[in-house]
Amino acid sequence: MKAPAFCYNWRMKSAVPSLRRVNPEDAAALTALALRSKASNGYDAAFMEACREELTYSAATMAGGETWVAELGGRLAGFIDVRLVDGAAEVFAMFVEPGLKRSGVGRALWQQLETSARHLGASTVMLDADPAAVAFYQAMGAPSLASGPPAPFVGGCCREFGKPCNGNCMA
């Protein structure tokens, strides 16, 4: 008998996704998920159109780093794209299916990020966070690096976060 693709923990109300490396065939599904997830933060159609190019994935863009996919029941639940930039593991994208936010999918992806950062030899994990994701990144132990107002990005603002690895990003 094949093991289930995911386990739902009723007591903790969280799902434990299976994780795998991305495949080139995943590009269209990742793009659709990124757009759905971003839109679920309350952005209007004009903003989403401005983000479309940045949130479009292809085999070429996915080849630039380590991209991991989270699946629940064989269906795409989220993904994270991390790349080594100047000795830091930089999160280029992290998206979770809107209906699965706060279910444990993001935490599983973050744990994979920290594992990937260690394997890449990164000294720090770095990311720019959408305002809607700030609380999540803080809960994962990544403090804001900015002392002033958030930096602008297309149609909004974001906050830069970082977490030292010191050989162990899980600390």
For position 147, what pLDDT does the model report?
44
Query: How far is 107 from 14, CA to CA, in rounded Å?
Result: 10
What does the DSSP 8-state code read for residue 5? S
For position 162, what pLDDT does the model report?
57
pTM of the full predicted structure? 0.79
| Tokens at 67, concatenated | 């991209």
Pairing of strands 124-129, 156-164: antiparallel
Contacts of 39 (CB under 8 A, 6+ apart): 48
| Tokens at 22, concatenated | 């991305």
Listed by start position, the domains of the chain span 15-164
User: What CA–CA distances, in Å, run from 46 to 30, 39, 133?
Assistant: 21, 11, 21
Query: How far is 87 from 163, CA to CA, in rounded Å?
Result: 13
For position 164, what pLDDT does the model report?
55
What fold is seen in the domain 15-164?
Aminopeptidase (3.40.630)
Query: How far is 29 from 126, CA to CA, in rounded Å?
Result: 25
* pLDDT confidence band for 130 (50 / 70 / 90): confident
For position 18, what pLDDT does the model report?
94
- pLDDT above 90: percentage of residues in the chain: 37
For position 32, what pLDDT does the model report?
96
- pLDDT above 70: percentage of residues in the chain: 74
Q: Is the pLDDT of residue 160 over 80?
A: no
Considering only 62-66, 107-111, 114-118, which range has the smallest mean pLDDT?
62-66
Under 8 Å between Cβ of 163 and 87:
no
